[in-house]
Structure 1
Amino acid sequence: MSFGDPNNPYGQPQDPNQQQPGYGYPQQAPQGVPQQGYGYPQQPGAPGAYPQAPGTIQANNGYINVHGLGTVQVASMGLRFAARLIDGVAIGILYWILSAIGVAGAVGAAKSVEDCTAMDPASSAYQTCLNDQAEAVGGIFAAFFGVLLLLSIATMLYEWLMIALVGATLGKMALGLRVVKENTGGKPGLGGGFIRWIIPTLGSIVCGIGLLLVYLSPFFDSTGKTQGWHDRAAGTVVIKK
């Protein structure tokens, strides 16, 4: 008794050129129909490469991926130091202008006071002269502290608003640097700009030592992004355009 072909239990004639399903190599898809692959789907770009997360340092070579900007170059500490020097010159000129105005006002107030030494100490004119001198001295101190206040406000607005709204100070603009949010690639905004400004400012209260440490802190960054403590707190990174 013959059992025949187990793949053809009904005894129907077989086409010798027809390959049985489930055996042999995988069948080729008809022309024009994409063949299904195996394994994980490939991402666009280099074959087998997957996109890196924003902020990922690339082989510690000075380039980083920033969302919305792609691969950008991290600003070197030399360029950042040079930009800081340019900003220092710009702020110094502003200091000089405001200080000159304050000194001129104080000198004018001092000259307007009459010399009391030639007057009779028992006279009412002498007492009036002393009162005028006291008011003049008070005006000089008021002008001095007023200039300091104006300088502080001007420095704050320069550093804070330029970084927040423009992404760069004059020094950074001159050297082609800008500050961006690491997770978006956009400008730091008022909040990020303020955080980035206030941390060095608070550090300057301790005899300037804290300020120096903040500005040197990018050297301590082991990620290769040269982020200072103020950058990390604000979520920013300084890049080269």
Structure 2
Amino acid sequence: MSENQPPYGGAPGGQPGPYGQNPYDQNPYEQVAQPYGQVPAYPGGGQQDVNAYGQVPTGMPPLAHWGWRVLSALIDGLVVGIPQVAVTYGVNRPAGSLVALIGLVVLAYVEGTKGQTPGKMAVGTHTLREADGQVLGFWRALGRRLAHLIDTLACFVGYLWPLWDDKRQTFADKIASSVVIKP
């Protein structure tokens, strides 16, 4: 091996390689030590919120009990289901499926823009973004509605998950980063 040729394919003469810095010029053990007990800063800046891990963030309204969620889902099911059944048996099956699809989109729109469906309005609950407490928006609300299909897998365990979850979230809530509150 010659004097100008560094080991392992680096650039000759200690110059940067084709991908930027010369890796042999960096000291991998040089790090800033944190004092014991001090929480390191978030990668995006600011201090880490210790309460955000597995606990309800501070300042959030009380989470809705599972019973309120079930009652609001039953009401929403009636709001969409009664017209769907009427059209399915009164007109035909494809028209009933179209009514169900329209109902899904309308519920997602109302929930995404107002935070409440008709069932949630009746029981007084709201669906909000977990991070900042704002309404979900249409696309996130529609994604949450579609993600409820995952809740039905494995014998509807996803719908039962709020019974023992710290944030009372279904799998769909976890995917959409949403919480259901009862102020």
Q: TM-score, normalised by structure 1?
A: 0.49
Amino acid at match of 1:219: L
Query: Quick check: 2:88–2:95 contact (8 Å CA) kept in 1?
Result: no
* Distance in 2 of aligned mates of 1:169 and 1:54: 33
* Distance in 2 of aligned mates of 1:54 and 1:166: 30
* Distance in 1 of aligned mates of 2:128 and 2:50: 12
Deviation, 1:80, is: 0.7
> What's the secondary structure of 1:72's corresponding residue?
coil
Query: Quick check: 2:128–2:178 contact (8 Å CA) kept in 1?
Result: yes
2:100 aligned residue (149, 152, 157) = 152
> What's the secondary structure of 2:88's corresponding residue?
helix
Q: 1:57 to 1:144 in 2, by over 3 A?
A: same
| Unaligned stretches of 5+ residues in structure 1 | 1-51, 103-142
> What's the secondary structure of 2:62's corresponding residue?
strand
In the alignment, which residue of structure 1 is the partner of 2:17?
none
> What's the secondary structure of 1:157's corresponding residue?
helix
Q: CA RMSD of the aligned region, Å?
A: 2.9
* Residue 235 (1) aligns with residue 177 (2): yes
* 1:122-154 C-alpha deviation (Å, 9 max, x unpaired): xxxxxxxxxxxxxxxxxxxxx432332x13312
Aligned residues: 137
Structure with larger Rg: 1
| Unaligned stretches of 5+ residues in structure 2 | 1-47
Deviation, 1:210, is: 5.1
In the alignment, which residue of structure 2 is the partner of 1:172?
120
Counterparts of 1:1-241 in structure 2, within 5 Å, are 53=49, 56=52, 64-65=57-58, 70-102=59-91, 143-148=92-97, 150-201=98-149, 203=150, 209=153, 212-221=156-165, 224-241=166-183
In the alignment, which residue of structure 1 is the partner of 2:21?
none
Aligned identity (percent) is 26
Q: TM-score, normalised by structure 2?
A: 0.63
Deviation, 1:57, is: 8.3
